[in-house]
Amino acid sequence: MSKINKVPTKIEIKLNDNDFIVSKTDIKGKITYCNEIFMDIAAYSEKELLGSNHNIIRHPDMPKVAFKLAWDLISKGDEFFGFVKNMTKNGDFYWVFTNITADYIDGKIVGYTSVRRKPNSNAIKTIIPIYKKLVEIEQNGGMKESGSFLFKFLEEKGLSYDELILSLQGA
Ligand SMILES: Cc1cc2nc3c(=O)[nH]c(=O)nc-3n(C[C@H](O)[C@H](O)[C@H](O)COP(=O)(O)O)c2cc1C
């Protein structure tokens, strides 16, 4: 069960309006909890998921810079919003609108919680070419370059990252 050797299919699994996919991790991103709907959609058993790194459902179409942004924010206690394309156990994909927040005990971050729901379909149409460009840049250069591209893109639109994401979702 290797995420590296898995071949992505073109089959999309769509979330229903009332699907809330929840998972929790430790501070390093190892899964400590996932709900039924997570297992149903990702097609992994609880046993396969618990203790695995959350990148077990990472899709190769996701730019690295999206996760860097997420980790930079959540590790300092800020919440992250984003559109994420995930991969199921057999290589199918599903898009989510995600929110990740830190969990605290005695004022110290002890892990993270993510809640995902059905993304706005128009938002995904906008996000696909942006992520494609970011992945391309990362393949030819690196994350520094894709970060600069994203920053410039937002600057031209006059939006912060959160403003772009939340306006696309209509949240
Ligand atoms: C609470 C939480 C939820 C996460 N959810 C996802 C997710 O749904 N899909 C995903 O690819 N990465 C998710 N991540 C990020 C992964 O930990 C990881 O950074 C990402 O998959 C990139 O992995 P890689 O750097 O090994 O390629 C999540 C992280 C946390 C802390």
pLDDT tens over the chain, length 171 residues: 445 458 999 999 999 999 999 999 999 999 999 999 999 999 999 999 999 999 999 999 999 999 999 999 999 999 999 999 999 999 999 999 999 999 999 999 999 999 999 999 999 999 999 999 999 999 999 999 999 999 999 999 999 999 999 999 997
The CB of 85 under 6 Å from ligand 1? The reply is no
In single-letter form, the type of residue at position 37 comes to I
The CB of 25 under 6 Å from ligand 1? The reply is yes
Q: What pTM value is reported for the model?
A: 0.96
Phi and psi at 2, nearest 5°, equal -110, 130
Residue 160: partners with Cβ closer than 8 Å, 6 or more residues away: 154
C-alpha 9/C-alpha 149 separation (Å) is 28
The CB of 111 under 6 Å from ligand 1? The reply is no
